């Protein structure tokens, strides 16, 4: 009868099962970390996109009449649900600009809708901008620098553009929305 040396003895079934369980727990932990990483990455991308939208809105406010800030505040408050398209199109139509024929109020209404709500079919840029970030809410406010005049938002005032983005990552068993704010002065 051959003598079996101790170094040639194989693993028992229990040792193999314990090894498989340890490796499985490690892989599940890595998968969980990967999933959280992906969710956090989506949140970060959403915040970057919201920041881009807020910057776009700030540029449009700057390009309009400086006394038109109150129109932007009203347009954001009235169209926060993106329910209605503007009655006057103040953008480019087939390369022809209709901006010059719009009043400051019409342009403000169009700009708010175009930046935050426009999801035109076939328009890759705008269809993805607000839709990608799961836009929850947006607002435009003003800290008036001169309350003695009749303007709601006088020159030198601070304008706040706020965008709330629905979060995907879970913190303390609750999804948290993210706020992006940009301040600009007139």
Residue 17 placed within a domain: no
Residue 76 placed within a domain: yes
Residue 26 placed within a domain: no
pLDDT for res 151: 77
> What Å distances lie between residue 139 and 3, 62, 82, CA to CA?
84, 17, 12
Residue 24 placed within a domain: no
Residue 79 placed within a domain: yes
Q: What is the pLDDT of residues 119-143, one digit of tens each?
A: 655 555 445 455 556 667 788 888 8
CA distance 107 to 109: 5
Residue 77 placed within a domain: yes
pLDDT for res 126: 46
- Provide the 3-class DSSP secondary structure of residue 93: strand
Residue 70 placed within a domain: yes
Q: How many domains does the chain have?
A: 1
Mean pLDDT over residues 39-55, rounded?
81
- 125/167: higher pLDDT: 167
- Provide the 3-class DSSP secondary structure of residue 158: strand
Residue 10 placed within a domain: no
pTM of the model: 0.68
The percentage of residues in the chain with a pLDDT greater than 70, rounded to a whole number, is: 74
CA distance 52 to 57: 9
Residues sharing a CB contact under 8 Å with residue 140, sequence separation 6 or more, in sequence order: 57, 61, 72, 73, 75, 76, 77, 112, 159, 160, 161, 162
Q: What is the pLDDT of residues 20-33, one digit of tens each?
A: 999 999 999 999 88
Q: State the residue range of the domain holding 133.
A: 37-185
The β-bridge relationship of strands 158-165 and 178-185 is antiparallel
* Cα angle value 45/42/177 (rounded, 5°): 90
pLDDT for res 128: 43
Q: What is the pLDDT of residues 59-113, one digit of tens each?
A: 888 888 767 888 888 888 887 667 777 888 887 665 556 666 788 888 888 888 8
pLDDT for res 19: 92
């Amino acid at each position: 009868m051959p003598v079996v040396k101790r170094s040639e003895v194989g693993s028992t079934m229990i040792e193999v099962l314990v090894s498989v369980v340890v490796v499985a727990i490690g892989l599940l932990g890595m998968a969980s970390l990967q999933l959280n990483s992906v969710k956090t990455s989506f949140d970060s991308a959403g915040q970057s996109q919201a920041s881009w939208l807020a910057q776009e809105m700030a540029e449009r406010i700057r390009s309009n009449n400086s006394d038109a800030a109150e129109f932007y505040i009203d347009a954001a408050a009235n169209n926060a649900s993106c329910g209605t398209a503007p009655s006057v199109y103040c953008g480019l139509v087939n390369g022809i600009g209709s901006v010059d024929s719009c009043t400051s109020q019409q342009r403000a209404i169009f700009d708010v809708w175009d930046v935050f709500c426009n999801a035109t079919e076939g328009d890759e840029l705008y269809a993805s901008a607000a839709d990608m970030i799961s836009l929850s809410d947006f607002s435009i406010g003003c800290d008036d620098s001169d309350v003695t005049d009749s303007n709601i938002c006088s020159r030198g005032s601070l304008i706040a553009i706020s965008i709330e983005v629905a979060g995907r990552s879970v913190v303390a068993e609750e999804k948290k929305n993210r706020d992006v704010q940009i301040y600009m002065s007139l």
